[in-house]
Amino acid sequence: MRVVAVVNQKGGVAKTTTAANLGACIAERGFRTLLVDLDPQANLTVGMGIPWYELDSALHTVLLDPDETPLRSIITQVHDIPLYLAPGHLDLAHTEALMMPHADKAYRLRNAIEDLTRSESFDWVFIDCPPSLGTLTQNAIVAASHLLIPTEPKFYAFAGMDSLNKMIVALTKSLRFRVELLGVLLTMFERGTRLHTMIAAEIRERFGDKVFQTVIYKNVRVSESEVEGKPIALFDRRAPGAQNYEALAEEVLLRAAG
């Protein structure tokens, strides 16, 4: 099982869209896939057609009291493919504060996933992280075997990845974990924009083959699919956005096999 944290503290870089669509494309290929919505905005949950505000238990209750609410109890299947969701909730926003006194606060998600795998098997787990480097993101990094970093081709992307790099180095001083980079994914790419091309080239120079060959272009159909509560791959297979994520899924599976 590979546990992939989709992480970048910058908001609006397509973390949620990537987790949802990559997860759906991999599940469509028959791999049992779990999406974990760790972002208090719960957009992944809503994007899968589930209203978080109607849930009385979600990821926040798992993190706060895993004995009372094991991860397995909140997971639901979505969209008639082997795709499952551990829904998020706005209350995750204050879960960070409530977890603060607990010594194991950064290990809660990892423990929950390990407990889950005693009764359920998943091939892939994708964790949608919040746009911050707080306790929730730390939980994702400690639980993950791999990181996937979606990033816009903007100068601030470098500052963001530098901050993430610093945080990971700092975490190694206090926590025990092992994680490697699955890849950096260029998102929100605009065709014909020279600045995007220039920055993408610089990112490739710095990160080498860790940057996915697949690029996710801006595509309005992806936003429309979110309104419909479906990943683009299930909403409009012919849309460029769907084809981008299909290509990414192939590349991710190839990397995992290699």
Partner 1 sequence: MRQDRAASLRERLRKGVSNFEFDALIEGVSNVDEDAAEKAPAPPAATPAKPDLRPASQVRTADSEGLRAALNTLGDRLLQEAGKLAAAFRALDVDESGYHLARINQVLELLHAVDPSGELARKHGTVAAPPTGVRWPKPVWCLYDFAESPLSGLVPVEADDLFCAAVVATAAVAPES
| Site residues (CB under 8 A) for partner 1, limited to 12-41 | 32, 40-41
Q: What is d(CA 158, CA 160) in angstroms, rounded to the nearest whole number?
A: 5
User: Would you call 48 helix, strand, or coil by DSSP?
Assistant: coil
CA 83 to chain centre: 14
Tell me how far, at minimum, the Cβ of 176 lies from partner 1, in Å: 6
User: Would you call 84 helix, strand, or coil by DSSP?
Assistant: strand
Region of 105-113, 133-141, 213-221, 233-241 interacting with partner 1 (CB under 8 A): 133-141
Q: Is 155 in the site for partner 1 (CB under 8 A)?
A: yes
- Neighbouring-strand partners of residue 5: 127, 147
Tell me how far, at minimum, the Cβ of 123 lies from partner 1, in Å: 10
- Binding to partner 1 (CB under 8 A) within 47-86 occurs at 48-50, 53-57, 72, 75-78, 82, 84
Q: Is 238 in the site for partner 1 (CB under 8 A)?
A: no
Nearer to partner 1, 23 or 131 (CB): 131
User: Which of 15, 89, 108, 110 touches partner 1 by CB under 8 A?
Assistant: 89
Q: Is 102 in the site for partner 1 (CB under 8 A)?
A: no
User: For residue 154, what are its two tokens?
Assistant: 């903007």
- Other Cβ atoms closer than 10 A to 115: 16
Q: How many residues bind partner 1 (CB under 8 A)?
A: 75
User: Which of 14, 179, 234, 252 touches partner 1 by CB under 8 A?
Assistant: 179
Tell me how far, at minimum, the Cβ of 185 lies from partner 1, in Å: 13
User: Which of 104, 172, 190, 228 touches partner 1 by CB under 8 A?
Assistant: 172
Q: In Å, what is the CA distance from 28 to each residue of 22, 210, 242, 249?
A: 10, 25, 12, 10
- Binding to partner 1 (CB under 8 A) within 193-212 occurs at 194-195, 198-199, 202, 206-208, 210
Q: What is d(CA 122, CA 34) in angstroms, rounded to the nearest whole number?
A: 7
Q: In Å, what is the CA distance from 165 to each residue of 11, 113, 171, 172, 241?
A: 17, 24, 10, 11, 29
